[in-house]
Each structure stands twice: as structure tokens, then as C-alpha cells.
Amino acid sequence: MDPAISVIMPCHDRAHDLQRVLESYDRQTAGDGFEVIAVDDCSRDATPHVLSRYRPRRYTLRIVRLEENVGPGRARNAAIPLARAPLTAFVGDDILPHRDFIRWHLEAHRHYPERSAAILGHTRWPEDMPVNTLMAHIDGPGAQQFSYYYFESGRTYDYRHFYTSNVSLKTEFLRSLDHWFDPDLHLAAFEDVELGFRLAERGMTIRYIKAPLAYHYHYYTIWSFAVRQRRAGLMGCALANKRPQLRGLFEEELGRMERYRLEANGVHFPALADWLEAETLRLASRYEWLSHPMLDNLYLETLRYFYEKGWIEAHFADDPQPQRVHTGHARLSLAPLLASFLDHAGPWPFSEGYGRWLRRQCRALSAAR
């Protein structure tokens, strides 16, 4: 008998979590049969071994091995033609489903049987993983990762929220497109937005239903999430260049690019951007387990900076002096951010003398032209 839902899961170098993710599908309460299609995106760790030796009891596990690392979008593309169920769900290898995950996705589609209806479930941090202030921010008011903080269960949301950590749709509707995830968006950012846009052009509606719950086992620090934001900026610029009809999403970023180009003619020291970045990350990291009323703004502006850094790398790829643009960007964004935070931070989490010196430097950089 064919499965009721095909769960597509790209896998890359997460063998340490993969076993319990596979086991969690064996604990599902759904009476309907389902399959998991795991695509090993040329992992260098024990992922192939974990997948090949696991023997599911409650579902069918199908494994695809890619011989080169192509990114999550193309990995999902390899699985879509293999799906045998009328419904397809997208998850990650760091996503552990609640025991009712499959049952609630199936139930939601029974309630919303329209061909173009997609169901977005809820993804949250697990209770057995410590959540620092950075993680609370990116899934909270900052919404740099998910926007659930602002969602209401039962309502519909646009294509920007086609989150491939926990979303399902009708397989036939998905396959009505002539291609799926864009291979040019090879990093884990905006490839789902681009596909969501093309599905929305065909009439897709995304209905958020909180009940299909999944836990996101991916610990972040300000350092690691800054890397993620830079990659998102690279892909955001690539998407804006590839799909002019989506450039309206990026009006703010495009406007800032011209501002940073002009700022490149100002004060320039080759190592200034690196120094400001390091000082900002060090400061933010000292607050990852401390509360502070200005912390959300510090995170917001720091993460915006690294997102824009990726944009600058892509947007000015052919510029003869890209480092000057980076310097202008850092001086314009990070120097006033640090100065303002240090003005109002109260007791600093480092020596008072160093704090005063850093504040003076940032004030001077903010005023320089």
C-alpha cells in the first residue's frame, strides 16, 4: 500500500543527531503509513553509516546518496520524483518531530483538502537543549530564523514563510512546476522562499497550524549565527538578481548598497572592518547568558550587519576595491552601534578601562568622514 505522506529530509554531517531523529519517526502515533526519504548530501561524517544500518519499524526509510555536496535545495530535488505519497513534507536532519507530527499534518490536509493548500507546522527549540539569549531573539522578536513569534494558528501567510523545516503540501501540486528548488541558491537560505513564490503564483496558500510540532536541535551562538546571516545575504542578493519581480522584497538592502558605495570614499583602514566585527561579536557573546534591555537591538543590528555583509560580497563582487566598501559598511553600522550600547549598558562585562577606551574609539569612528 502506498504511504499517506512522504517526508523528505536532506542530511549533511549531522550523524550525532540523526539516530534519534530516525527513532522519533518510529514513535509516531499516526495510523497511516508513511515514508522518509533521506538524501545524504555527500556527508563526510558517519551519516551514511547511520542511515544504512537503521531499521525502521513503523515507516519505510528510503536513502539517496549524492556523490557531491550540492546543498539542501538540490538534495530535496533528488527526492521529490521518488515520493510515492499524495502528500510531501519537508523537514531537516536537525528537526525532531513530536510524536503526533505525522498525524497532525495528515489531519490538517483532510481539513484543508484544496489542491493548493500547504500546511506550515510549528518549529521550536527543544526543552532539553539550553536556549541562550541569542537563540531566544532569533526565534522571538528578531525573527531572523522563523516568524512564529508573530503568527496565529489557523491563519494564512505568504510565500516567504515556506519553511522547509516543517511544511507539507500536495505532491501533485508540487510536481506541477517544471522545476523545484533553484540550484543557483545552493546555500540554506532563500531557496525555499523562491520555490514558495513560484508555488504562490500557481495559487498556493500557506496555512499555519501550530499542532504539527517539531523541535529544532541546532544550537547557535552569535558567532555561528553571524556566519549563517552572511550566507543568507549572499543568497538574498542572488535571488534579487535572478528574479527581478522579487526585488521589491529587498528595497532596503538595495538602497543601503548605494549608501555603502558612497561611504567607501571615506576613512579607510584595511583592518578596520575585521576589528569592528570582532569587537561586536565579543561584546554580544558576553551577553548570551545575561539579560539586558538593549540586547534585542544589539542582536538585531549585529545580525543585520552580517546579512548585509553577504549582500556586499555578492553585490560588489566585480568592484575593484571591495574592501573599501566593507570598511565603510562596518564604520557606518558597527561603530555607532557599539558606542550607543556602551553609553547605556551600565556595568560592563569586561574591565571599565577597556570599555571606556572602546567607546571613545567607536565615537571617533562614527564622527569621522
Q: What does the pLDDT look like over 318-351, one tens digit per residue? A: 877 778 888 889 999 999 999 999 888 776 666 7
- What is the per-residue pLDDT for 137? 98
Averaged pLDDT for residues 18-22: 97
Q: What does the pLDDT look like over 173-224, one tens digit per residue? A: 999 999 999 999 999 999 999 999 999 999 999 999 999 999 999 999 999 9
C-alpha–C-alpha distance, residues 131 and 160, integer Å: 25
- pTM equals 0.94
C-alpha–C-alpha distance, residues 319 and 336, integer Å: 26
C-alpha–C-alpha distance, residues 233 and 237, integer Å: 6
Radius of gyration of the chain (CA): 22
First-to-final CA distance of the chain:
71
C-alpha–C-alpha distance, residues 311 and 294, integer Å: 26
Choose the weakest-confidence range: 82-86, 99-103, 251-255, 350-354: 350-354
Report whether 307 contacts 229 (CB < 8 A).
Answer: yes
Averaged pLDDT for residues 153-169: 98
Averaged pLDDT for residues 282-304: 94
Q: What is the DSSP letter of 137?
A: H
Cα 267 from chain centre:
34
pLDDT at 352 over 90: no
Domain ranges of the chain: 5-216, 222-367
Report DSSP letters for 197-266, one per residue: HHHHHTT-EEEEEEEEEEEE-----HHHHHHHHHHHHHHHHHHHHH-GGGGGGGHHHHHHHHHHHHHTTS
Q: What does the pLDDT look like over 221-236, one tens digit per residue? A: 999 999 999 999 999 9
User: What's the topology of domain 5-216?
Assistant: Spore Coat Polysaccharide Biosynthesis Protein SpsA; Chain A (3.90.550)
The answer to whether the Cα torsion of 141, 143, 146, 148 is positive or negative is: positive
- Cell readout for 260 is 555603502
